[in-house]
Chain A
Amino acid sequence: MGRYVIRRLLQMIPVFFGTTLLIFLMVNVMGDPIAGLCGDRQCDPATAAQLRTEFGLDKPVWQQYLTYMGNVFTGDFGTAFNGQEVTELMGTAFPITIRLTLVAIVFEIVIGISLGVVTGLRRGRPVDTAVLILTLIVISIPTFVTGLLLQLLLGVEWGVIKPSVSPEAPLNELLIPGLVVASVSLAYVTRLTRTSIAENSRADYVRTATAKGLPRRRVVIRHLLRNSLIPVVTFIGTDVGALMGGAIVTERIFNIHGVGYQLYQGILRQNSQTVVGFVTVLVLVFLAANLIVDLLYAVLDPRIRYA
């Protein structure tokens, strides 16, 4: 187990640098990092040159990247467009987005897996067909459309929720946005769990468990579910990235001042420090989530652990 963890950690290092380099290049080479610094006007050449020297933009790109990464590791993400430290923005934005994402993951796990188990054990029955069709529809409707529709129905028409979330974003206001963020993944989790349960329920070891005279509940929960969850856990891990994307879209719709909002502002005002900073941290979060899932995977499946 220890060796497995170390191996995964080592594999993450090049991925982290590769990913951040890619993003850094995109922003700094394809875009113009100082374009947003002179307000709406074009910078005049003298000011532009001065700004370039100030930010070290006249140096080769690899040097800029190294300097930037050096700063990142000392906790310095630079300054945002309004003069605030990027880290300060992060301090307010990340807790909100993390809360939103956690709500989404909880929905995904609780609803997705239970629906998957129920349908997987009742393949071909009406409840299975109904859920299957429902998941297909949910998958087909992009998150932003789901969000707008729920906002229209629950917020505007029926007044069940507030159409926009207040700045502190308390948990109860995040329930519907969280559901929106989770929607597509939730449907995938349902389908994946269903397939996995249906497949494993014909497995020999499930037959053995029944032959041992275990109660049905125990057969399902202890023997069937645990094996069936292995691919589902993997999916949820790789899906954290999609959840982040969903969070960005959903924050926009419900006016939640989280990471998506800040990132969006940064892009709108062409503030590369904010963008690269936030994205770097998000990539870190994503990689960390994948690591956690890999570990969970190893806990669930001893064949991986001892490989």
Chain B
Amino acid sequence: MLLEVRDLHVEFHTRDGVVQAVNGVNYSVAEGETLAVLGESGSGKSVTAQAVMGILDMPPGKIPRGEILFKDRDLLTMKKEERRKIRGQEMAMIFQDALSSLNPVLTVGEQLGEMYVVHRGMSRKDAKARAVELMDRVRIPAAKERVGNYPHQFSGGMRQRIMIAMALALEPSLIIADEPTTALDVTVQAQVMDLLAELQRELNMGLILITHDLGVVADVADKIAVMYAGRIVETSPVHDIYKAPAHPYTKGLLASIPRLDQKGQELYAIKGLPPNLLHIPPGCAFNPRCPMAQDVCRTDVPPLYDVAEHRQSACHFWKETLDAR
């Protein structure tokens, strides 16, 4: 397995108390596989990814428990310097907002070339030539002329391509894309997503795609992990989950996607607000918002039940959920 996250916990120590952002997450990604991690903001999906990348701010962040195995080595017990060398070379990350994620005062060529200068010890000139190649590869027109431009001189879609190029520079075996298309226009979203998927296939990389957009997921992901309040509530191969969700939360998410065939009907919305991570409700964290909640949900934390092959759900009533379509 390329990456295996085991029982990962992340907490933040703030003025108001301890925020429990991630509470025992398990997931894995194989080479060439795409895992989509789904959830609302505050569900811990980004924090988990940042823990994997090793870019959490610590303090205030803290990882009290868990393992992150990358090519069978635990990243959490690794020396800082070793870990740094893995970043960028073996795993890379694509962020949501390319404009703020790119350094505004350096040219895109410098920022792309930096990967080769630092990790490969290339000269600046060679690195620049490689930067042009990279820009060509992500299909930025007139790469040669634009390599000396600054991020603000590019359009949103082009900037996100540059982010992708930067992540791909050293052909890592794992890419984490944190909402890579959320900030883009709808028409551009598909182009960028296609490009990412294509490059992933070409290089046989593992891809963790973090998103709250179920629509994006269906086309590219192999499997899905749905997160809620710092826990995984359901994992499944991608197509099964659309056919029959095994967790009421997933079901709510799916029902809240507008669909053409339901025109005229009222759109479903999950009632209530995401939980306050300072005070996660006892039992199942979703219970205050869950239409199926029973007493047991308010007292017992549901374990991940095996629902089918490669499918798990953290709901006491997964059977009922599956059946009640």
Of A202, A223, A230, the residue contacting B103 (CB under 8 A) is A223
| B105 adjacent to chain A (CB < 8 Å) | yes
Known contacts A213-B89, A213-B118, A227-B105; decide if A205 and B84 are in contact (CB<8 Å): no
The interface stretch among A28-36, A45-53, A136-144, A299-307 is: A299-307
Report the nearest A residue to B119, measured CB to CB: A213
Q: Looking at the assembled complex, report how far the CB atom of B301 sits from the nearest CB atom of chain A, in whole angstroms.
A: 32
Q: B53 touching A211 by the CB < 8 A rule?
A: yes
- Whether A213 contacts B97 by the Cβ 8 Å rule is no
* Contact between chains at B105 and A302 (CB < 8 Å): yes
Contact flags (1/0) for A208-237 with B, using CB distance below 8 Å?
111111110010001100110010000000
Interface presence of B86 (CB below 8 A): yes
Instruction: Contact check, A302 vs B150: say whether CB atoms are below 8 A apart.
Output: yes
> Does any Cβ of B come within 8 Å of A207's Cβ?
yes
Q: How far is the CB of A72 from chain B (nearest CB, A)?
A: 39
Tell me whether B77 is interfacial, beta carbon within 8 Å. Answer: no
**Which A residues touch B88, using CB under 8 A?**
211-214
Q: List 14 A-B contacts (CB under 8 A).
A: A205-B101, A208-B93, A208-B102, A209-B103, A210-B87, A213-B85, A213-B89, A213-B119, A215-B118, A223-B103, A302-B150, A302-B152, A303-B104, A306-B152
A212 touches B100 (CB 8 A): no
Are A212 and B104 touching (Cβ within 8 A)? no
CB distance from A121 to the nearest CB of B (A): 12
**A208 contacts B115, C-beta separation under 8 Å:** no
Given contact pairs A214-B84, A303-B152, enumerate 13 new A-B contacts (beta carbons under 8 Å): A204-B97, A205-B100, A208-B101, A208-B102, A212-B92, A212-B115, A213-B86, A223-B106, A227-B105, A301-B105, A302-B105, A302-B107, A302-B150
Chain B residues, Cβ within 8 Å of A213: 84-89, 118-119
Contact residue range for chain B? Answer: 20 to 34
Which chain A positions have C-beta within 8 A of B97?
Answer: 204
Residues of A within 8 A of B150 (CB): 302-303, 306
B153 is an interface residue with CB less than 8 A from chain A: yes
B97: nearest residue on chain A (CB-CB)?
A: A204
Per the bound structure, the CA–CA distance linking A222 and B102 in Å amounts to 13
Q: Which residue of B is nearest A208, CB measured? A: B101
Kindly provide the distance from the CB of B56 to the nearest chain A CB, expressed in whole angstroms.
Answer: 10
Q: Smallest CB–CB gap between B296 and chain A, Å?
A: 41
Report, as a range, how many residues of chain A touch the other chain: 20 to 34
- Which residues on B sit within 8 Å (CB–CB) of A212? 87-88, 92, 114-115, 118, 166
**A214→B114 contact, CB < 8 A:** yes
Whether, in the assembled complex, A203 has its beta carbon less than 8 Å from a beta carbon of chain B, the answer is yes
* Complex alpha-carbon distance, A306 and B86, angstroms: 36
Q: A204-B97, A213-B87, A213-B118 are in contact. Are A227 and B104 (CB under 8 A)?
A: yes
Closest to B112 in A: A212
Q: How far is the CA of A215 from the CA of B85 in the complex (A)?
A: 9
* Residue interface mask B279-307, A partner, CB < 8 A = 1: 00000000000000000000000000000
Chain A residues, Cβ within 8 Å of B101: 204-205, 207-208
The residues of A that contact B89 with a CB separation of less than 8 Å are 213
- The 7 A-B pairs with the shortest beta carbon distances in the complex, nearest first, are A213-B88, A213-B87, A204-B100, A204-B101, A205-B103, A302-B150, A212-B88
Which residue of chain B lies nearest to A224 when distances are taken between CB atoms in the complex? B103
The chain A residue sitting closest to B86, CB to CB, is: A213
Asked if residues B85 and A227 are in contact (CB atoms below 8 Å), the reply is no
Residues from chain B with a CB closer than 8 A to the CB of A209 are: 103
Q: How far is the CA of A285 from the CA of B260 in the complex (A)?
A: 69
Q: Counting CB contacts under 8 A, is B228 at the interface?
A: no
**B residues 66-114 touching A (CB-CB < 8 Å):** 84-89, 92-93, 95, 97, 100-107, 114
Query: Which residues of B have CB within 8 Å of A303?
Result: 104, 150, 152
CB contact between A306 and one of B92, B100, B153 (< 8 Å): that residue: B153
B167, chain A: closest CB distance, angstroms? 9
How close is B113's CB to chain A, nearest CB, in angstroms? 11
Task: Considering the complex, give the chain B residue whose CB is closest to the CB of A226.
Answer: B105
Q: Which A residues are in CB contact (< 8 Å) with B106?
A: 222-223, 226
Interface assignment of B1: CB less than 8 Å from any CB of chain A: no
Provide the bound-state CA to CA distance between A302 and B103, in Å.
11
CB distance from B102 to the nearest CB of A (A): 6
